[in-house]
């Protein structure tokens, strides 16, 4: 995900993030922004320079550094601002590239926004709406509310706008179950693919009614981990690439028996040679532990009071004080 302002300012790191290899298709870029004009200009850059085949606007980030300025999952509370940003993006694309929206249920259970925001996005012409069935207050805790996804699907069905469900998709079976229970047109996978990139192949098979491929043995997982590290190093260099792969180690190895000192050393790996030496110490002849390995992974924090600008909840419409908070809301790169 990149911020619209960083893209408009042609930040070097951001421009690299919206550059794709010739064999990557479809190319999708997720934008985060709080200013309609800046968002429109960012969309025009992507479309005019043929940088992506799809643009998604992220209004779902719940982390305090984003919401405290009014961005991310706090923004849809300001109905007029949300509408203006979505409208600006859709109009800037002018039908050349589909534009979608991803959001959460709302700020908390007392300040839900997903139905109003979903309707607004549909009326402004987005290609689809993705809903994470949690509030900002829930972060990544509790169980995702799939009923909210069903409610949004029912609301937008007459408008012809597809709804994708997000939250607690850990396996292909979870995806099928969500679609059956909610009527969603598809799913969005977040934490579920961390350390499990083969999940996408399993999803394709499930959606096409084909047998779902089995999870790999540990030997297959280690080969995938090694390839992941190799690609990171090719893109970022050995120092940064190895530093980045460290956070993936626990996700890849979840559910497998690996000696503690090896796990610890993998978390500080500094070169591909060191990685190879450590991977060589692991017994790869282990089956995937579906019960453990297919469960929740990544961020699990939840149930915290959202950090918001002073007076943000006083009105669902943008006032001068709220506008001032938003001026510092964009950072170079964010996530959620």
**pLDDT at residue 331 is higher than 60:** no
Catalytic residues: 61
Higher pLDDT, 191 or 335: 191
For residues 54 and 171, state if they share a domain: yes
244 and 157 within one domain: no
Tally DSSP H helices, then E strands, for the chain: 16, 7
Whether the per-residue pLDDT at 72 is higher than 70: the answer is yes
Judge if 166 and 248 occupy the same domain: no
CATH code, domain carrying 270 = 1.10.1200.80
Higher pLDDT among residues 74 and 296, named by residue: 74
Residue 42 falls inside a structural domain? yes
Which pTM value belongs to this model?
0.93
83 neighbors 39 (Cβ within 8 angstroms):
no
Boundaries of domain holding 279 = 218-293
CATH number at residue 52: 3.20.20.70
Q: Same domain for 222 and 174?
A: no
The two structure tokens encoding residue 282: 């692991």
112 backbone φψ class: left, alpha, beta (φ>0; ψ -120 to 50): beta
Mean pLDDT of the chain: 94
- Token pair in block for residue 223: 């080969």
């Amino acid at each position: 995900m990149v911020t619209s302002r960083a893209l408009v300012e042609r930040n070097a790191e951001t421009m690299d993030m919206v550059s794709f290899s010739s064999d990557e298709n479809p190319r999708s870029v997720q934008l985060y922004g709080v200013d309609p004009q800046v968002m429109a200009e960012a969309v025009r850059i992507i479309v005019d320079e043929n940088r992506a085949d799809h643009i998604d606007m992220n209004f779902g980030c719940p982390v305090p550094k984003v919401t405290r300025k009014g961005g991310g999952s706090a923004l849809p509370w300001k109905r007029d601002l949300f509408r203006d940003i979505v409208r600006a993006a859709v109009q800037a694309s002018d039908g050349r590239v589909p534009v979608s929206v991803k959001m959460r249920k709302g700020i908390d259970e007392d300040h839900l926004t997903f139905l109003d925001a979903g309707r607004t996005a549909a009326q402004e012409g987005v290609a689809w709406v993705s809903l994470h069935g949690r509030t900002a207050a829930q972060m990544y805790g509790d169980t995702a509310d799939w009923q909210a996804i069903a409610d949004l699907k029912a609301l937008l069905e007459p408008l012809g706008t597809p709804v994708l469900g997000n939250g607690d998709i850990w396996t292909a079976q979870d995806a099928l179950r969500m679609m059956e229970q909610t009527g969603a047109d598809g799913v969005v996978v977040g934490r579920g693919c961390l350390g499990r990139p083969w999940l996408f192949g399993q999803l394709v098979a499930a959606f096409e009614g084909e047998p779902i491929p089995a999870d790999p043995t540990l030997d297959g997982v280690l080969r995938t981990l090694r390839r992941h590290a190799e690609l990171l190093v090719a893109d970022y260099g050995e120092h940064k690439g190895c530093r980045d792969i460290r956070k993936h180690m626990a996700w890849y190895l979840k559910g497998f028996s690996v000696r503690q000192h090896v796990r610890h050393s993998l978390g500080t790996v500094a070169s591909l040679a060191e990685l190879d030496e450590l991977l060589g110490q692991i017994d790869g002849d282990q089956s995937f532990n579906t019960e453990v390995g297919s469960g929740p992974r990544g961020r699990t924090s939840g149930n915290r009071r959202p950090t918001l600008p002073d007076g943000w909840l006083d009105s669902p419409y943008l006032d001068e004080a709220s506008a001032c908070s938003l001026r510092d809301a964009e950072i170079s790169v964010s996530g959620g």
